Amino acid sequence: MKKLLMTAAVAAVALGLGSTASLAEAYKACWIYVGPVGDGGWSFQHDEGRKAVVAELGDKVETVFVENVAEPDSDRTIERLARDGCKIIFTTSFGFMEPTLKVAAKFPDVKFEHATGYKTAPNVTTYNSKFHEGRYVIGQIAAKMSKTGTAGYIVSFPIPEVIAGINAFMLGAQTVNPDFKVKIIWANTWFDPGKEADAAKVLLSQGADILVQHTDSTAPLQIAQEQGKFGFGQASDMMAFAPKAQLTAIVDSWGPYYIKRVKAGMDGTWTSQQSWDGMAEGAVTMAPYANMPDDVAKMAAETQAAIAAGTLHPFTGPITKQDGTVVGESGKPLSDGEIHGMNWYVKGVDDKLPQ
């Protein structure tokens, strides 16, 4: 019965979202998602960010979102929002980059914010989060917790963010266990629970005892839970799906950034920029450390604090690449540009990248 009530409440909330207040003076902020809000991962977290804006600014702001926007013809959708009176538009997938720039040129008075891209304009800002900071932390935890010294890593597509994630994970793990190994499976999808579950099972059968994922569904964690192994949540805290298996999760918190930018748009202080927030700004947060001994949790918390404080940088030189060459000056972090365009593995990764 309690569950029934809860579901009814959830449904009511879901329906309520449709009726946003349309006050004349409300500032209109709009979002475009590449997936359904119901993907439980990437688009879901952006929508959580949108909700945070509503919670913070109340009826001073009116929000609108369009979900499941196919990248190839997204310029129409973006233009519709601009014509519909949106003052600031967040386009939340790499594939929206060119369409965003195209529409932005037509609407100089509207502010555009494009996630994960690299091209800006006077009214176009780019923003992203340093997810690799979280991956460095979970690398350390994985190396501590693994008995076999091998992690299984399920990944979506070889884009720089994902590759930087694998590298940060390995560098973190190598600080604990220099011989740490990682087995990689490219699922070629952002979410297909069945496929992710299959990949997880295969990795566990191949000697991995910790699962890491850069795909969006909770399936790998659920498999870890079933088999008494451990894993890490992706994009959101997935504790409810695997209370015995989730060690922590890298949580995308877009809320603080969205609130900051919408406010800037409202009071006229908005300027074009390239924003890359991380743990320091609260854009990347870690779900509570669980299912691990206190000393491991303590180490993880310390690493997290050091990264947030800026004293530790996951990509600090010199870093040995897979092919044996060395990048980065000793003691200095790689530049943002080098991380943004990363297409090589660090030493110790047992996989080959398409060239």
Interface residues for other proteins in 220-239 (CB under 8 A)? 222, 226, 236
State which of positions 114-143 bind other proteins (CB under 8 A).
118
- 329 with 318: CB under 8 angstroms? yes
The mark string for 32-71 relative to other proteins (x by CB under 8 A, - otherwise) is ----xxxxx---x-------------------xxxxx-xx
State which of positions 139-198 bind other proteins (CB under 8 A).
152, 157-160, 163, 183-186, 188-189, 191-198
Nearest residue (CB) to other proteins, 210 versus 312: 210
**What is the residue whose two structure tokens read 């920029």?**
273
The count of C-alpha atoms lying within 13 angstroms of the C-alpha of 152, restricted to the half-sphere facing its C-beta, is 26
Residues ≥6 apart with Cβ < 8 Å to 68: 33, 34, 35, 36
CA 277 to chain centre: 11
State which of positions 1-20 bind other proteins (CB under 8 A).
3-4, 7, 10-11, 14-15, 17-20
212: contact with other proteins by CB under 8 A: no
- 43 with 35: CB under 8 angstroms? yes
State which of positions 239-298 bind other proteins (CB under 8 A).
240-241
Q: Which of 205, 305, 310, 318 binds other proteins (CB under 8 A)?
A: 205
CA pair distance 139, 285, nearest whole angstrom: 15
335: contact with other proteins by CB under 8 A: no
CB atoms under 10 Å from CB of 212, counted, come to 27
Nearest residue (CB) to other proteins, 225 versus 303: 225
Q: Which of 89, 115, 168, 199 binds other proteins (CB under 8 A)?
A: 199
302: contact with other proteins by CB under 8 A: no
Q: Which of 52, 60, 94, 282 binds other proteins (CB under 8 A)?
A: 94
Dihedral angle over CA of 17, 21, 22, 27, nearest 10:
-90
Choices 31-39, 255-263, 266-274, 294-302 (CB under 8 A): range interacting with other proteins: 31-39
